[in-house]
């Protein structure tokens, strides 16, 4: 409650993200209920995929939201399982380690390195609680085998659900931004060919923006990617911008100031149209009008 109070502006201003958090918690509770109601003599509680929610919350938000979400989910699972707080502790440890494993992801395939961390979390707590309760070796082995299934399935589920949730809830993660940061994006290739001066300018601005974001604790990846695309509207009329004229006569010399200002301002509208045509996230599109401002040109 204290956490949500302090970060209400960050979370509650985006209803889609709030819905996403609620959906993940609901699904974990549903899994816990199903495993409790199924009449099967097996440790099904280890097939409640708490690490999936932990990793998704970490990737979509950050490690702090991921950890607090893991604590909430773990206690909900324990409560639904009949106040079984041993499974709450086990889920909490495994979920916390899965949060650690994806906190600094650079590409989607890194999700699968969490397999070892999840298995480690389940394994340590299962063995510790088993020894504390004097469980037989066969019981501990059976629990570990189900934990292994969880550790293998959780990264696969996370990978698939992440793509689905990004599309449905229109959430832009750092992974999406890192994919846009590759210079092989069609818009960046067009910019490099048709407006090379603007391309060089954008790369320089990206370095400055990233450094500035780092200094103030802002999202460095978003700043860099936004700077890459902020001037893509100049693709439409590249030679009307000084960085692309390469020593040729300035075309604005024969134009009235009013006409020059209209042409210059048009690259904002053109850029937004191009960005949406190529399905850039709105967080990146925002850089196009915001970089230019509304004062006199």
The whole-number pLDDT of residue 53 equals 94
Contact between 288 and 233 under an 8 Å Cβ cutoff? The reply is yes
Q: Average pLDDT of the chain? A: 89
Band (pLDDT 50/70/90 cuts) for residue 1 is very low
Report which secondary-structure segment, H or E, holds 287: helix 287-290
Region 133-151 average pLDDT: 94
CA distance 274 to 191: 12
Quote the tokens at residue 9. 């502006």
pLDDT digits (tens, 9 = 90+) for 191-232: 999 999 999 999 999 999 999 999 998 989 999 999 999 999
Entry pTM: 0.76
pLDDT digits (tens, 9 = 90+) for 26-47: 999 999 999 999 988 899 999 9
Integer-rounded Cα radius of gyration of the chain = 25
Band (pLDDT 50/70/90 cuts) for residue 14 is low
Band (pLDDT 50/70/90 cuts) for residue 5 is very low
Burial pattern 12-31, b for ≥16 Cβ within 10 A else e, equals: eeeeebeebbeebbeebbeb
């Amino acid at each position: 409650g204290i956490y949500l109070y302090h970060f209400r502006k960050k979370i509650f201003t985006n209803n889609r993200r709030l819905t996403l958090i609620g959906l993940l918690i609901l699904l974990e509770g549903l899994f816990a209920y199903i495993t409790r109601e199924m009449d099967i003599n097996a440790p099904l509680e280890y097939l409640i995929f708490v690490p999936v929610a932990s990793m998704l919350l970490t990737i979509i938000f950050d490690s702090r939201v991921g950890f607090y979400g893991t604590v909430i989910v773990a206690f909900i699972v324990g409560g639904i399982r009949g106040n079984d707080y041993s499974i709450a502790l086990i889920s909490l440890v495994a979920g916390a380690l899965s949060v650690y494993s994806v906190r600094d992801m650079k590409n989607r395939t890194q999700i699968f390195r969490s397999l070892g961390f999840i298995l480690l979390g389940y394994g340590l707590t299962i063995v510790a609680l088993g020894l504390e309760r004097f469980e037989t070796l066969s019981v501990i082995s059976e629990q570990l085998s189900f934990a292994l299934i969880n550790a293998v399935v959780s990264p696969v589920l996370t990978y698939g659900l992440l793509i689905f949730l990004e599309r449905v809830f229109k959430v832009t993660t750092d992974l999406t931004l890192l994919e846009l940061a590759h210079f092989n994006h069609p818009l960046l290739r067009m910019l490099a060919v048709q407006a090379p001066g603007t391309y060089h300018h954008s790369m320089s601005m990206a370095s400055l923006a990233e450094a500035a974001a780092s200094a103030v604790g802002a999202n460095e990846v978003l700043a860099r990617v936004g700077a890459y695309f902020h001037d893509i509207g100049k693709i439409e009329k590249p030679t009307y911008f000084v960085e692309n004229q390469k020593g040729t006569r300035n075309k604005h010399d024969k134009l009235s100031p009013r006409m020059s200002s209209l042409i210059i301002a048009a690259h904002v509208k053109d850029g937004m149209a191009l960005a949406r045509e190529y399905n850039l996230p709105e967080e990146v599109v925002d850089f196009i009008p915001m970089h230019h401002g509304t004062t006199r040109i």
